[in-house]
Chain A
Amino acid sequence: MSEAEEILNRIKNHKGVIGILVVNSEGLIIKSTFDQQQSDLHASLLTQLSKKARDVIRELDPQNDINFLRLRSKKHEIMIAPDKDYTLIVVQDPYADKEKS
């Protein structure tokens, strides 16, 4: 568990990271840097999205599976790493490097 804390802290301290969210397979929020309402919204919507993406990939090739999702909009970027038991969601500002330099 402390190892997980260390990894999450490393991600949190990365430049441009807005928030981190860890959700288990049942949709419950394990750990989050957002407030409660924002966490619930992100968790439900993004787990649905990753589930649907997995279904799509399985439909195209039954032996394939998703490793990672990256959802990019104009100002934000959401990265989703779904796994068997847990899903890691990171929200970041993709232009953080450019802005600061």
Chain B
Amino acid sequence: MAGSSSEISESLNGWMNNNSSIVSYVLINADGIPLKYNEDVTYEHAVKQASLFSDLLTKTKKCVKELLPQENEFISNLRIRTKKETEYILCNHGDYSLITHQNCKDMQHKKKKIKT
């Protein structure tokens, strides 16, 4: 368990370092308890995000179930774009959910650079 736990941390941190636009992430279980979160984020903030977004994810599940009943397997994600040019990406898979907070301004800046 300790080994797999540190492996998860390493994977998440590596993934976050590879994508510079990511501000923070929180990994939560089905009960809304934060299991892993970015070291820059305080525990209180992680708990707050976990509780708020787990409610939102439950509602998302309900919506998908009602709107698209033919899709039995529930693998989906919800992106919330905000006015401060940031974006929350909520991914749900089985009993775990990953909440990512990223800065879209950087992405747009990079896109412009690439086009030039």
Given the contacts A45-B66, A46-B63, A53-B56, A72 and B79 also touching, CB distance less than 8 Å:
yes
8 A Cβ contacts from B38-56 to A: 48-49, 52-53, 55-56
Contact bitstring A21-63, B, C-beta under 8 A = 1, else 0: 0000000000000000000011001101100110011011101
List, in ascending order, chain A residues with CB within 8 A of B52's CB.
56, 59-60
| C-alpha gap A75/B75 in the complex (Å) | 10
- Contact indicator B63/A60 (Cβ below 8 Å): no
List, in ascending order, chain A residues with CB within 8 A of B56's CB.
52-53, 56
| C-alpha gap A27/B48 in the complex (Å) | 30
8 A Cβ contacts from A55-97 to B: 56-57, 59-61, 63-76, 78
The contact of B71 among A48, A57, A73, by CB within 8 Å, is A73
Q: B: which residues have CB within 8 A of A? A: 48-49, 52-53, 55-56, 59-60, 62-64, 66-68, 71, 73-84, 86, 88
Given the contacts A72-B77, A72-B78, A78-B67, A67 and B55 also touching, CB distance less than 8 Å:
no
| Chain B interface, >50% SS class | mixed
| C-alpha gap A70/B81 in the complex (Å) | 8
12 contacts between A and B (CB under 8 A): A45-B66, A46-B63, A56-B55, A57-B82, A64-B82, A66-B80, A69-B78, A71-B76, A72-B76, A73-B75, A74-B71, A74-B76
List, in ascending order, chain B residues with CB within 8 A of A70's CB.
78-79, 81
The contact of B63 among A65, A71, A72, A74, by CB within 8 Å, is A71
List, in ascending order, chain A residues with CB within 8 A of B81's CB.
66-70
